[in-house]
Chains A and B, each alone.
Chain A
Amino acid sequence: MQKVGIVEVAQSAGTESPLSLMEFTYKPVKEVLDKVGMKRDEVDMYILASTDVFHSGMSCANAFDWDASGAFMKPASREEGDAITSFVYGCMPIMEGKCDTVLVVGLIKGSENAENDTLTSFVADPFYSRPVGIQETTAAAMQMRLYLQRYGITEEQCAKVVVKNLSNALFNPYAHIKKRVSVDDVLNSERICDPLKALECAPKSEGVCAMLLASEEKAKKLTDKPVWFKGWGSSMDTFYLGDRDLLDTQLKTAAASAYKMAGISNPRKEIDIAETCEPYAFQELLWCEELGFCAQGQGGKLIDSGVTQITGELPVNPSGGVLAMNPYVARGLYRVAEAVLQIKGKAGEHQLDKKVNTALAHSTYGFCGQWQGVVILGS
């Protein structure tokens, strides 16, 4: 099994762009190739991630994206779903020794889509769940209610996640939402779906993220500081919400596989920074528990302690996370990209003030985290 190095990343900002989807996709792809001085044709394989559900009303998203992503007449494929899977797919042909370089591109143009809740209602089955109004936000609200009740987590503790992440986002040039908010602002924002408040829900953002992966030898040639793929795990839960314990998701299984592959036994101590996918504020606390950063039910105490602040012992979402920037499909690849930048020491104003050796990137999609994926990167 060959080592996989991440050479370079490029991302676009989350704010509404006047560019067409093709031009919008082209820019970060070109940027990442320019950074390493490669031509499109020199890349061995392309893996895209996009989704028909969130694709400006067009089906077979890869068809339209093909030219701009650089995949024209190259070995290629597309992941339909979260872009973190395209990253893992991109690692495979390098691990097997078939490719030296793979370009991974995750893309979405949120401003051309209907509301996320409208689109995610189509994820619900048409017979039982959809007629009663189940979509991502209503499902998350039920999960949050259970979380507050079972473990006595407070709404203030959930609001603190928003305050932390939006404050981090002020230093991230690519973040979509840039405003300083207080716990009171969050608590007093409109109740979207009780107990979820408006500021606790992620926005609908644009986002193209391009990432060049390479074999060990090639990576060392292309960059002074490659970041290494160390481990990966993912797991899927059953469909109907009533069949699951919403506070016992498959993230534990996903994280356990990733830690095993990366040889991590104490995640709280060994991981230097985590980028998690928290489209709803309380989920960051729940995911931190399931990732093993604190004991079950202790997510509230974790945020109170300050450990997950950008200056803390284990910063979570120093980029501002998904609450500040939610390019739906691409968001998983953005998590990986931020983890890469932190290890490279190139995160700019939100660079951690410590040596970053091991970083975790997490993503999830589906109601209440039905699919969970964890990637571990190392220096």
Chain B
Amino acid sequence: MGRAVAVIGTGQTKHGRRDDLSYPDLVREAVKKAFEDAGITPKDVDGVVYGSMPSMMEGVAYNHFYFADALRTVGKPLFRTETCGSTGQSVAHTAIHWVASGMADIVLVVASEKEHEGDAQATMMTILEPFLMVTIGGAPVAFSLQSREWMGYYHIDEDKAREAASIVSVDSHDGGLNNPLAHIRVKLTKEDVSKAPIITYPVRLYDVCPVSDGACAVIFASEEKAKKICKKPAWVKGIGFRGEEYFIGDSSKAVWQSTIEASKEAYKEAGITNPLKELDVAEVYNPFSYQELMFLECLGLCPPGEAPDYVIKGTFSPGGELPCDPSGGVLCCNPIGAAGLIRVAEAALQVTGKAGEHQVEGAKLALSHAMGGAMQFNGITILGSEL
């Protein structure tokens, strides 16, 4: 195996509607914070990995060129990795491979989105090819279909699923209140969620993530450098990535193979056999609360079809056996390209005890995850406090 790799610093913008600065300056805000956190300067970095959603999002193609200065990549190599919604995980994986290969010692990873400068839903319509799939159109439609498929497949009572989804939403929004950088910071009750206006049945307003501006930067380093520079690095324990068929009808989205296989790969690398017991915290990609329920099953954190029972009994709530998305998750902040990397950064904060008000006490092993494409791609990164 290659060299051990660690996170030695993270930086996130204040997420939300950021009309106060330009897109390059949004990127700069996150990059600056990551350097301050790691206590190094741009000259210490060997290269940069950047990613975002497609160019149609903000209307600038290959925007890493535009951000060259903000990314502090001038005079250095740059990789642009992009896998749609799972971009945030994929950019981290590029950096991990790069450092592990021995071709770089310190790599800066940045991902960003400034959704208020474009039309995110219109862009996502163009992920679907124009002849057959376009009729499915847009994230809420696709994910509502998936929720229905999942409930039907496991014969899950709709009221029970509704209650569990409401708990996911309430827990996430409570997390958002504890996270000063989160976009949505409101106190919600289960009734607020279950009685909110319907977006596409069964998904209601508070089951849906917001449209956010935000950037995230994470600095990865080799074992030798990490030990020298950083008092408490977050070690990369395992990674996994899988993608399935393009056409949505070609595979089951209730038993989500790409999530299942990606997590199995990451657990194997991390030496985890019982993820629910061994993990201390999970940052699950939850742009829709119903999706988090499916992810909990496919990530192997509870048996298939039983996520609602586990959620209702509080397994994944604050203080539960495995708290999920203490940062508020994607439900409270979704700059899409960055959302997967924010999960990695949050996992790093948790295992190094730097998460502040939303810290899970004594967290040592954390899972981060993101999903993308036409419900196609799943990426996982597991971080731990011990090498």
- Of the listed stretches B37-45, B122-130, B223-231, B354-362, chain A binds B122-130
- Interface size of A by CB at 8 A reads 59
The reply to whether A62 and B65 form a contact with Cβ atoms under 8 Å apart is no
**Do A59 and B126 touch (CB < 8 A)?**
yes
Contact check, B79 vs A97: say whether CB atoms are below 8 A apart.
no
| A96 lies within 8 A of B101 (CB) | yes
Which B residues are in CB contact (< 8 Å) with A76?
241-243
Q: Measured between C-beta atoms, what is the minimum distance from B3 to chain A in Å?
A: 7
User: Is A52's CB under 8 angstroms from B54's CB?
Assistant: yes
CB pair B246 A66 closer than 8 Å: yes
Question: Judging by beta carbons under 8 Å apart, are A80 and B51 in contact?
Answer: yes
Is B141 in the interface zone, CB < 8 Å from A? no
For B257, list chain A residues within 8 Å (CB): 73
**B128 to chain A: closest residue by CB:** A58
Residues in B whose Cβ lies below 8 Å from that of A72: 243-245
Nearest-Cβ distance from residue A235 to partner chain B, whole angstroms: 6
Contact A95 to B83, CB < 8 A, known contacts A63-B373, A77-B90: no
Cβ–Cβ contact B90 & A238, under 8 A: no
Determine whether B261 belongs to the interface, using a CB cutoff of 8 Å to chain A.
yes
A350–B178 alpha-carbon span in the complex (Å): 65
Interface presence of A78 (CB below 8 A) = yes
**Residue B102 is within 8 A (CB to CB) of chain A in the complex:** yes
Instruction: State which of B3, B53, B68, B102 has its C-beta within 8 Å of the C-beta of A370.
Output: B68
Point out which of B65, B90, B244 has the most chain A C-beta atoms below 10 A from its C-beta.
Answer: B65
B73 lies within 8 A of chain A by Cβ: yes
**With an 8 A cutoff between CB atoms, is B69 at the interface?**
yes
Known contacts A57-B126, A120-B61, A79 near B80 by CB under 8 Å: yes
Contact A77–B83 (Cβ < 8 Å): yes
CA separation between A120 and B61, bound complex, in Å? 8
Given contacts A62-B82, A79-B81, A122-B59, are A73 and B2 in contact (CB under 8 A)? no
Q: Specify the chain A residue showing the minimal Cβ separation from B77.
A: A234
* A10-18, A86-94, A142-150, A274-282: which lies at the interface: A86-94
Contact of B102 among A78, A96, A120 (CB under 8 A): A96
The stretch of B91-99, B184-192, B294-302, B310-318 that contacts the partner chain: B91-99
The residue on B at minimum CB distance from A85 is B79
| CA A61 to CA B126, docked complex, whole Å | 10
A259 at the interface (CB under 8 A from B): no
Which residues of B (19-58) have their CB < 8 Å from a CB of A?
48, 51, 53-56
* Interfacial residues of chain B within 179-222, with CB under 8 A of chain A in the complex: none
Q: How many Å lie between the Cα of A91 and that of B100 in the bound state?
A: 11
| Contact (A80, B240) CB under 8 Å given A59-B126, A63-B127, A97-B1 | no
Known: A62-B84, A63-B376, A95-B2. A234 touches B245 (CB 8 A): no
A62 to B75 alpha-carbon distance, docked (Å): 28
Do B90 and A235 have beta carbons less than 8 Å apart? no
- Assuming the contacts A59-B123, A93-B101, A122-B60, asked whether A98 and B2 have C-beta atoms less than 8 A apart, the reply is yes
> Contacts A59-B56, A80-B80; is A92 near B258 (CB within 8 Å)?
no
Enumerate chain B residues within 8 angstroms of A126, measured Cβ to Cβ. 59-60
CB atoms of A92 and B100 under 8 A apart:
yes
Residue B153, interface by CB 8 Å: no
Contacting pair A250 B75 (CB below 8 A): yes
Among B48, B53, B83, residue most surrounded by chain A Cβ atoms (within 10 Å): B83
Give chain A nearest CB distance to B80 CB in angstroms.
4
Q: Which of B55, B74, B79 meets A52, CB within 8 Å?
A: B55
User: How far does the alpha carbon of A77 sit from the alpha carbon of B51 in the complex, in Å?
Assistant: 12
Interface contact A73-B80, CB-CB below 8 Å: no
Query: Does B308 reach chain A (CB closer than 8 Å)?
Result: no
Q: A1 in the interface, Cβ–Cβ < 8 Å? A: yes
Cβ of A58 and Cβ of B126 under 8 Å apart?
yes
* Contact yes or no, A96 B69, CB < 8 A: no
Interface string of A66-82 (1 = CB under 8 A from B): 11000111111111110
Residues of B within 8 A of A366 (CB): 62, 65
Inter-chain contact A95/B62, CB cutoff 8 Å: no
CB pair A62–B1 under 8 Å, yes or no, is no
Min CB–CB distance B333 → chain A (angstroms)? 21
Complex CA–CA separation, A238 to B332 (angstroms) = 34
Residue pair A233, B68 in contact (C-beta under 8 Å): no
Per-residue CB contact flags for chain A residues 234-270 toward chain B (1 = under 8 Å, else 0) read: 1111110000000000100110010000000000000
Docked-complex contact B74 and A238, CB < 8 angstroms? yes
**Cα distance A273–B48 in the bound complex, in angstroms:** 30
Q: List 30 A-B contacts (CB under 8 A).
A: A1-B103, A51-B62, A52-B55, A52-B56, A53-B62, A59-B123, A62-B373, A63-B373, A67-B246, A72-B243, A73-B244, A73-B257, A75-B242, A77-B94, A79-B80, A79-B81, A80-B82, A81-B62, A92-B98, A95-B103, A98-B1, A122-B60, A123-B61, A126-B60, A236-B48, A238-B68, A250-B75, A254-B77, A370-B68, A373-B77
Extra pairs beyond A75-B240, A80-B62, A250-B75 (20, CB < 8 Å): A52-B56, A53-B55, A57-B126, A58-B126, A59-B127, A60-B373, A60-B374, A62-B377, A66-B244, A66-B373, A73-B258, A75-B241, A76-B241, A77-B83, A96-B3, A97-B2, A236-B78, A237-B75, A238-B74, A365-B62
Query: Footprint of A on B, CB under 8 Å?
Result: 1-3, 48, 51, 53-56, 59-62, 64-69, 73-84, 90, 93-94, 97-98, 100-103, 123-124, 126-127, 129-130, 240-246, 257-258, 261, 265, 372-374, 376-377
Among all A-B residue pairs, the 10 with the closest Cβ atoms: A96-B2, A59-B54, A80-B82, A52-B54, A60-B84, A95-B101, A122-B61, A234-B77, A92-B101, A92-B97
